[in-house]
Every structure is written in structure tokens, then in C-alpha cells.
Amino acid sequence: MPVALPLPASYLAAFREQPGYLNFASYGPPSAAVLETSAELMAVAAEGAVGASDKLHAEDVRARAAFGRLTGFPTDNVALVPAVSYGLFQLAFGVRGKVLVGAGEFPANVYPWLRARQAGHAEIALMGGARTLVTPALVAASLSPDVTAVAVSAVDFQTGYRADLAGIRAVIGPDRLLLVDGIQGFGASHIDWTLADAMVIGSQKWVRGGWGSGAMALSDAGLERIRPTLGGWTGVENPSLYDAVEHASREDALKYNVTNLSPFASGAFATALELIEEAGIGRIAAKIEETAGLLADKLDDAGVDVLSPRDAAERAGIVVAGFPDGNAAAAHTELAMAGINATLHGAHRIRLSVHATTDKESIAHATLVLAGFA
């Protein structure tokens, strides 16, 4: 098991979630700094001083710049979105041709494609079924000459499997678009996001920035080839020139803007991103990798099935416990009674997810409870 570099004490002190919080794949409790930013920005709005609106919307720039630095994309290639789905809808209505999508993807990465197909915008081919791992081999087996893009999660919400983005890129070549739902990976794992032509995330999970914001980053090829079909009034040149004519779409990623975003959400997102930058994504990811590995090992020791990948290269912060007897709901209730927050997935699975702030006591406690159901 790799030894994680120590995280700055200031990072660890920034969070105050209860012990037993093992549900970061659902949402990540925000830091004190995020709470402060939200309150301060709300206070600025409440004051209503001259220039308040400009000051508030400048938070977008702070968030886009930080996201660009963390993903390796220029700020011009980054747009903000209110949630992952909004970005994926932009992609689904903007690409042409046939798109390969894992049938078992989180629904936020399926419905946009279904809707785009129903509207006659894209053709789609669904790969596999629930819990099929979207591997380079599956993509290779599903490819046909008319496929123009592949849409995949960087980390699968249900299995915890971390996709081999480099392998998928190698299989599809440079000319097809690689479209990545990054929400379960960004902030949890050290991933080369520049392999993607478009990646979309939300602020609410591993970033720990709260709901209502997120970002979409595009390669130059993605920017060129993904049309702003759903772009709105803030996605055009001179949006405030109210001259009753259609304005040209912007050239940069802001062409996918639909309207103005919540400055409170953008500011919270920016603060959360800057905290990640300060601590170092490598250190956060290493700590998560170590703690997730520890949890899987402890579950093994307790005789509980581990259904998520064991190889560190194939996982991020999600560990899935299996209940072959179908008593996952009872185990989940017992966890809740013990103050442990996790997600129930049907009769046979509980998804646990750890962050860099997760302590060993929480792991031991959860394992002890689950041992009773092994």
C-alpha cells in the first residue's frame, strides 16, 4: 500500500463532518471556507451596493481559472455548469454522429443521450448493462466506423471502477471525441483529464463545494466540434446589446452558457477548488487511495465481500460491500443506527466512500457493524 504524503493540517482542519461519514460519492460535506464564502457573497448581494452584481459574477472567473489549473485546460476552454447533467446535455445536443455510451452509466450520463437521439440530434449505441465495466476492450468491441464519440464516467458511481481513459483514448484514436463524466473522479483521484475532449463535473461530491455549480472543460478539438446547440443568451457575443438580432456564438467554452449562474454557488466552488490546489490533488488522492485500500482490507478481514476493484489503478474513493444473502438493507439500517452514513444499492450492495479526512476509527466502526452481516 502506498504511503500518502501528509496533508497540510490546515486542510484537515477545514472540515467538520461527523465521524462515520462514508458517503462522499453521494455528496461531500463542504469546508468551513466554503460556508464562509457563501455567507459573504450572500451578504454582498443583500447590501446591494453599486457594482455588487459585477463583483458577484466575477466569482465565475475565479472558479474557471482554478478548474483550468487543476485539470490542465486553459481558462478559455472551461465553462461553468450548475450540475453535471447541464454539461452533458450540452455535449449530447452538440455532437454529431454515433456515440457509444455505457448502459450502466449513472442516469445523468444516459438521459441526455436518449433525449438527443429522440430529438434527432445524435445516434447512440448503449454498451453492456448495469455494472458492466467500460474497459478499453469493451469500447474496442463496440466500435464501428460511424462512431464519432464515446461517453464514459471517469469513475463508475456503482462499481467504483476507475476507467482507463488512456486505454480508451488509444482504442478510439485521436479523431473520435472522448467525453467524460468526471464527477466521481475529480478531487478524488489523480487523473490526466487532458485525455478527454470534454469532461464535466459537479461541485457537490469530491470537490466538497456544495450543490449548484460545476464545470465543463474541453480540448481545442472538442470546442471546435461540439456545437453550442443549447447555448443561451449569455453564450453569444455582446449579450447585453438588445438589438433584436441573433448574435454569433462565442468562440470559447462560454458559448455553452445558457444564462447567468448563481454567484453563491460559483464562489463556493472556487473556494473549494482553491483548497484542493493548496493541499495538492496528489496528496488528497494518495490519502483517499490509502484509506479506501484500508477499508477494503478490513472488510476482507471481517469476512464481508468487497465488490469494487482491488487494484489501486482501477479504483478511486468508492468501496462496495456485497451481501450475497440479500440483507444489504438491514445492514444499511444498522450502519445508520451506528451513525455511519453510506448508500444502499439494492438488496445486495452498500456503497461506502472515503475522503482524505476520513479517520481510521470510522473505518473500524463501519467494518465492525458490517461484520455482523457477513
Ligand X SMILES: Cc1ncc(COP(=O)(O)O)c(C=O)c1O
Alpha helices in 302-374 (DSSP H): 328-337, 360-371
Nearest residue (CB) to ligand X, 37 versus 353: 353
Q: Coil, strand or helix: which one is 175?
A: coil
Least distance to ligand X, CB of residue 188, Å:
12
Least distance to ligand X, CB of residue 50, Å:
35
How far apart, in whole angstroms, are the C-alpha atoms of residue 79 and residue 276? Answer: 19
Closest of 260, 270, 213, 214 to residue 36, by C-alpha: 270
Closest of 46, 48, 41 to residue 63, by C-alpha: 41
Least distance to ligand X, CB of residue 106, Å:
3
Q: Which of residues 107-136 bind ligand X (CB under 6 A)?
A: 108-109
How far apart, in whole angstroms, are the C-alpha atoms of residue 22 and residue 341? Answer: 5
Confirm or reject binding of residue 181 to ligand X (CB under 6 A). Answer: yes
Q: Coil, strand or helix: which one is 236?
A: strand
Closest of 257, 242, 341 to residue 89, by C-alpha: 257
How far apart, in whole angstroms, are the C-alpha atoms of residue 136 and residue 345? Answer: 26
Least distance to ligand X, CB of residue 209, Å:
12
Confirm or reject binding of residue 212 to ligand X (CB under 6 A). Answer: no
Nearest residue (CB) to ligand X, 288 versus 294: 288
* Choices 90-98, 180-188, 264-272, 341-349; region in contact with ligand X by CB under 6 A: 180-188
Structural element, H or E, at residue 54: helix 52-57
Confirm or reject binding of residue 184 to ligand X (CB under 6 A). Answer: yes
Least distance to ligand X, CB of residue 322, Å:
19
Least distance to ligand X, CB of residue 234, Å:
20
Confirm or reject binding of residue 84 to ligand X (CB under 6 A). Answer: yes
How many of the chain's residues bind ligand X (CB under 6 A)? 12
* Choices 170-178, 179-187, 321-329, 352-360; region in contact with ligand X by CB under 6 A: 179-187
Q: Which of residues 189-208 bind ligand X (CB under 6 A)?
A: 202
Closest of 354, 325, 55, 327 to residue 184, by C-alpha: 354
Nearest residue (CB) to ligand X, 85 versus 291: 85
How far apart, in whole angstroms, are the C-alpha atoms of residue 44 and residue 56? Answer: 8
Site residues (vs ligand X, CB under 6 A):
83-85, 106, 108-109, 153, 157, 181, 183-184, 202
